[in-house]
Amino acid sequence: MPFDRIRLSSFRNLEDAEVLTQADRVFLIGENGQGKTNFLEALYYLSYGNSFRGSVDAEAPRRGSAAFSLLGEVRAPGSADMPHESIRVSYESRIKEIKRNEKPVRDRKELVELNPAVVFCHEDFSFAAGEPERRRFFFDQSAGLVSAAYIDNLREYKRILRQRNSALKETRHDLLPFLDMQIAGKGIELMDERSRLLAEFDGRFALSFEAVSLLGAEVRIRYRPSWPSDLGIEGILERLGSRRNEEFALGTSLSGPHRDRWNFTSEGTDFAATASTGQLRLLSLTLRMVQAEYYTTATGRLPVLLLDDVLLELDRGKRKRFLDLLPPSGQSFFTFLPGESWEDYQTGSTLVYEVRNGRFED
């Protein structure tokens, strides 16, 4: 749902202010370090209750302050005369409080269902060329955007994993068989859901990536579960049992969905190993495009898109094709450096702000 108004207080370097955002596209133009990304981070906080930069809440208050507060007014679904919904995220005395229409939100997954944002940012590069954990994060996030049950299952799996790792560290031979049964059962559920996600993602991704990159070779997503998908619960239990001594020695679980791999292949080989930096950058952008598209297909709703300097690294042709293929959104926020031809990207209603020293000027 689109944001109509954001109220900022003590957040990063942004000046305390109320910023009107009632437009299809909002452009933030400014030099580096002026606060453009901080504003997108504020929107992300209002969408998910945390930062997309992987930073902790304690880093978000303005220097010299220990607290921050953000208030977003979002357009409620339905008729135009429906009253706005409000989302408030405040942080004080190391306690974060999230409220929707002034009522406490007990679980952040409630926010995900209300107002998800899809962020395109520099850190996404790691989806293409970073550690496997980053790709697992991306695909888990994609599944969680459309299914709160997936978030619940993943949390439960991680809880079992922590219990199992603790039992391994304490060499609790007596408890491992039971934790094996639990981790195998929950693991199979996660693997099934990830396989279904792959089926939804792969075709869309291959088409979109080719349409923007014009590479001429098909790039596909490959999901390699740590446990072969046809193993079944008995086979998994057997496999876990066969590595028992190794796991006791290392004090950690060596297999399971927490070790699943996602990668990208072209003509049967690992695409990331041979791709150029530009191609990898484009790959990560395409993943975000497909994430937004998948969300809309699965839920029938439009996400808010946050695009942080993403056009900067694309040549003119790719930039145009990327924007042409950008899935429909409830609202889009773009950041630009001064001198970029942002005028070319205006559509419908566009609001333009210059951002200077954390201050927003029309």
Partner 1 sequence: MKALDELVGLLTRLPGIGRKSALRVAYYILKTDSSFSEALADRIRGLKGAICFCSSCGAYSESDPCPVCSSPSRDRAVICAVEQPQDVVTIEASREYRGLYHVLGGLISPLDGIGPEDLKIRELVGRAGNGEVTEVVVATNPTVEGDTTALYLKRLLESTGVAVTRLATGIPVGGDLEYADRLTLARSFRGRTKL
- Of the two residues 67 and 175, which places its CB atom closer to partner 1 in the complex? 175
Q: Which position has the token pair 């902790």?
A: 56
CB of 197 to partner 1, least distance (A): 17
Among 175, 211, 237, 337, binds partner 1 (CB under 8 A): 175
Q: Can residue 148 be called a binding residue for partner 1 (CB under 8 A)?
A: yes
Among 178, 199, 214, 254, binds partner 1 (CB under 8 A): 178
CB of 84 to partner 1, least distance (A): 24
Among 181, 207, 237, 302, binds partner 1 (CB under 8 A): 181
CB of 145 to partner 1, least distance (A): 14
Number of residues this chain uses to bind partner 1 (CB under 8 A): 20
Q: Can residue 160 be called a binding residue for partner 1 (CB under 8 A)?
A: yes
Query: Would you call 18 helix, strand, or coil by DSSP?
Result: strand
The stretch among 39-47, 158-166, 240-248, 288-296 that binds partner 1 (CB under 8 A) is 158-166
Q: Can residue 92 be called a binding residue for partner 1 (CB under 8 A)?
A: no
Q: Can residue 163 be called a binding residue for partner 1 (CB under 8 A)?
A: yes
Kindly state the DSSP code that residue 228 receives in the 8-state scheme: -
Quickly list DSSP for 78-134.
S-TTSPPEEEEEEEETTEEEEEETTEE-SSTHHHHHH--EEEE-GGGHHHHHS-HHH
CA dihedral 353, 354, 359, 361 (to 10 degrees): -60
- Of the two residues 74 and 167, which places its CB atom closer to partner 1 in the complex? 167
Close Cβ partners of 307 (under 8 Å, ≥ 6 residues apart): 120, 332, 333, 334, 335
- Of the two residues 120 and 150, which places its CB atom closer to partner 1 in the complex? 150
Tell me how far apart the alpha carbons of residues 117 and 332 are, in angstroms, rounded to a whole number.
Answer: 9
Q: Can residue 162 be called a binding residue for partner 1 (CB under 8 A)?
A: yes
Tell me how far apart the alpha carbons of residues 156 and 150 are, in angstroms, rounded to a whole number.
Answer: 10
From the list 355, 361, 299, 357, the residue with the least C-alpha distance to 40 is 355
Which residues bind to partner 1, rule: CB under 8 A?
A: 148-149, 152, 156, 159-160, 162-164, 166-167, 170, 172, 174-175, 177-179, 181-182
